[in-house]
């Protein structure tokens, strides 16, 4: 139990995340997009998500908020929603050609931002950081009261 812990680790995490997110959002805005739209698109491209609830979960927002963003993106012609014929409760979300184009533009901006973020970091340090972040997330994810897991791949 208690060690003479320093400043809360969550505090450093929150401050860093806010600063990084803000800089990233600025970079995406300059490329004609936004952070939520980017998160939605990259999740659509890189993950196999069955429905909007999982998509919202992957992004870290609530379903209602996702609906809001999808409305905007659909109005902008970036995505289309269509009912899954096999389960008409589900809306399948797909990128349009226009969405694909914007995705590539944002991917370029994101890559530049990511290079900037990685300045001075070795590959090993990045891997360490990713592993530490995964373990933090695991520690607050519900049942994680027992012991830290070794879920690095």
Partner DNA sequence: AAATAAACATTAGATATCTAATAGTCAGGT
Partner DNA sequence: ACCTGACTATTAGATATCTAATGTTTATTT
Which residues make up the interface to DNA (CB under 7 A)? 34-36, 50-53, 60-72, 81, 87-91
CA distance 81 to 44: 12
- Near a copy of itself by CB under 8 A, which window of 64-72, 76-84, 85-93, 101-109? 101-109
* Binding partner of residue 110 among DNA, a copy of itself, none, CB cut-off 5 to 8 Å per kind: a copy of itself
Q: Which of 63, 71, 118, 143 binds a copy of itself (CB under 8 A)?
A: 118
Which residues, other chains included, contact 63 with Cβ-Cβ below 8 Å and sequence gap of 6+? 52, 53, 56
Binders of a copy of itself in range 69-98 (CB under 8 A): none
Q: Residue 47, interface with a copy of itself (CB under 8 A)?
A: no
Which residues, other chains included, contact 103 with Cβ-Cβ below 8 Å and sequence gap of 6+? 41, 42, 45, 95
DSSP structure string for 43-77:
HHHHS---SHHHHHHHHT--HHHHHHHHHHHHHTT
Q: Residue 18, interface with a copy of itself (CB under 8 A)?
A: yes
* Binding partner of residue 6 among a copy of itself, DNA, none, CB cut-off 5 to 8 Å per kind: a copy of itself
Q: Residue 145, interface with a copy of itself (CB under 8 A)?
A: yes
């Amino acid at each position: 139990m208690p060690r003479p812990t320093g400043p809360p680790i969550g505090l450093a995490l929150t401050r860093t995340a806010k600063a990084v997110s803000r800089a990233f959002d600025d970079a995406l805005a300059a490329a004609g997009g936004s952070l939520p739209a980017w998160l939605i698109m990259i999740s659509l491209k890189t993950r196999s998500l069955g429905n909007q609830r999982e998509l919202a979960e992957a992004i870290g927002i609530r379903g209602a908020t996702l609906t809001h963003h999808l409305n905007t993106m659909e109005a902008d012609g970036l995505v289309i929603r269509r009912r899954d014929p096999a389960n008409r409760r589900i809306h399948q979300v797909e990128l349009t050609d226009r969405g694909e184009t914007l995705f590539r533009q944002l991917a370029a901006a994101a890559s530049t931002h990511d290079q900037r973020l990685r300045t001075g970091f070795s590959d090993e340090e990045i891997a360490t950081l990713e592993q530490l972040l995964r373990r933090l997330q695991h520690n607050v994810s519900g049942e994680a009261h027992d012991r830290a897991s070794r879920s690095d791949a």
